[in-house]
Amino acid sequence: MKYDFETLIDRTDSGSGKWDGMKEKKPDLSPGIVPFSVADMEFKNAPEIREGLKEYLDTHILGYTGPTKQYYEAVCAWMKQEHGWEIDPEHIVCTLGVVPALFTLVKAFCEPGDGVIVMPPVYYPFYMAAENHNCRIKRCPLVYRDHAYTIDYDLLEKIAAEEDSKMLIFCSPHNPVGRVWKKEELKRVGEICLKHGVKIVSDEIHSDLIMPGHTHTVFSQAGDFGSEVIVCTAPSKTFNLAAMQTSNIVIPKKEDRERFREIQGHSGPGALGFEACRLAYTKCRPWLTECLSVIWDNFRFAKAFFEEHLPQIKVIDLEGTYLMWLDCTALGKTKEELEELMVQKAELFLDEGYLFGEEGAGFERINIACPQWVLKAALERFEKAVKEG
């Protein structure tokens, strides 16, 4: 390994919501406890980004700064190299994050009272984006069978056909269930939505975090969808850059971009965000390659741990993301009891499954982007707490 994936940075009092939230939930926390919730990594940023930002500060002035030609080139080159996706740089709209973009998209393309389709259990800000504009949430739950998730196309067809259904917010790869959707799956979803005039917004923030044996297909490339699909991308999950607040939303239709910008107003990333994204996309593929191998290794380690020590807990296959989804329903606990066991007994700060919708009750989401020794200590606490009841 060329890069450091072993050092833990103590983020106490650094403004990390994940670390602060842990203290709020359990003020008498034991020393050395690390949270496993919010999706950022407990890994140091790539040295190419750290050094590159220092150099930028030494050679630039922090005046008003927008995205440069080199910035757009870096984004387009990354998408081509990683996903075989050719983007017209004009189609890119930079935002302060994917979540802010989702809020803007709902405001731009839905009226209050319109229906926004989501596929729970799913990343909960999808609900918030719809509710914020007083839209109705139309739930098309994923089908859970034999510890694996698929799409309910019949239900999607029925919901999409309803007159008030205006938008689908789709998660690809899917947080929290870890699916990397196959091209045929995307094609079917796309065809259904297009047939019924439902706008497709595909949140692909996890699309660079793909596990061995799987391939990410960009939604707009999965079928003959013309310029109908809006794809949300960012370097933030891939390179642990959430604090830089820089995302790239690909909106192919000119009138859609204009509408989006009208609602977005004068907000956008800053100079350091643009530079961090440019550095990541041009210099950090080797770091990502190692990072992915660490995540995959952590997943295999955790899966083997559960199989050996807690076989009643089922680990859902990780096809993409660094978020492991655990079916803990066999423990027979209510969601409150499960949370109590995790937080108070095991000192484990995970994302409770019910946060992602009622289908997630009895599940836990663990962020495994951390040094393996940190994960091991957590799994041991998990085992002890469950065995002691």
Ligand X SMILES: Cc1ncc(COP(=O)(O)O)c(C=O)c1O
Q: Assess 98 for contact with ligand X (CB under 6 A).
A: yes
Sole binder of ligand X in the list 16, 37, 207, 247 (CB under 6 A): 247
CB-nearest residue to ligand X: 97
Using alpha carbons, list the distances in angstroms from residue 318 to 2, 174, 240, 286, 287.
25, 10, 19, 22, 21
> Helices (H), strands (E): how many in the chain?
12, 13
Least distance between ligand X and beta carbon 40 (Å) = 8
Contact between 46 and 1 under an 8 Å Cβ cutoff? The reply is: no
The stretch among 219-227, 234-242, 297-305, 311-319 that binds ligand X (CB under 6 A) is 234-242
Q: Please give the structure tokens belonging to residue 223.
A: 């079928």
Q: What are phi and psi of 108, to 5 degrees?
A: -75, -35
Nearer to ligand X, 186 or 341 (CB): 186
Label the pairing between strands 229-233 and 199-203: parallel
Q: Please give the structure tokens belonging to residue 77.
A: 């080159």
Least distance between ligand X and beta carbon 205 (Å) = 4
CA angle 333, 334, 339 (to 5 degrees): 90
Q: Please give the structure tokens belonging to residue 289.
A: 């390659």
Least distance between ligand X and beta carbon 310 (Å) = 26
Contact between 313 and 346 under an 8 Å Cβ cutoff? The reply is: no
The stretch among 79-87, 97-105, 143-151, 287-295 that binds ligand X (CB under 6 A) is 97-105
Site string for ligand X, 146-185 (x = CB under 6 A): -------------------------x---x----------
Residues near ligand X (CB under 6 A), total: 13
Nearer to ligand X, 97 or 115 (CB): 97
- 376 Cβ neighbours under 8 A, 6+ residues apart: 301, 305
Cβ count near 152 (within 10 Å):
14
Side-chain-side CA neighbours of residue 290 (13 Å): 15
Question: By CB under 6 A, what part of segment 286-315 binds ligand X?
Answer: none
Contact between 131 and 113 under an 8 Å Cβ cutoff? The reply is: no
Least distance between ligand X and beta carbon 123 (Å) = 4
Nearer to ligand X, 174 or 333 (CB): 174
Sole binder of ligand X in the list 151, 180, 200, 205 (CB under 6 A): 205
Sole binder of ligand X in the list 207, 220, 236, 240 (CB under 6 A): 236
| Cα separation, 137 vs 114, whole angstroms | 9
Nearer to ligand X, 108 or 341 (CB): 108
Alpha-carbon Rg for the chain in angstroms: 21
Look-up: residue for tokens 């079928």? 223
Look-up: residue for tokens 């850059």? 241
Helix or strand (DSSP H, E) at 255: helix 254-264
Cβ count near 339 (within 10 Å):
18
Least distance between ligand X and beta carbon 128 (Å) = 11
Q: Assess 39 for contact with ligand X (CB under 6 A).
A: yes
Q: Assess 209 for contact with ligand X (CB under 6 A).
A: no
Cβ count near 82 (within 10 Å):
17
Site string for ligand X, 122-151 (x = CB under 6 A): -x----------------------------
Nearer to ligand X, 29 or 243 (CB): 243
The stretch among 42-50, 94-102, 279-287, 370-378 that binds ligand X (CB under 6 A) is 94-102
Least distance between ligand X and beta carbon 353 (Å) = 15
Least distance between ligand X and beta carbon 38 (Å) = 7
Sole binder of ligand X in the list 99, 110, 130, 241 (CB under 6 A): 99
Site of interaction with ligand X (CB under 6 A): 39, 97-99, 123, 171, 175, 203, 205, 234, 236, 242, 247
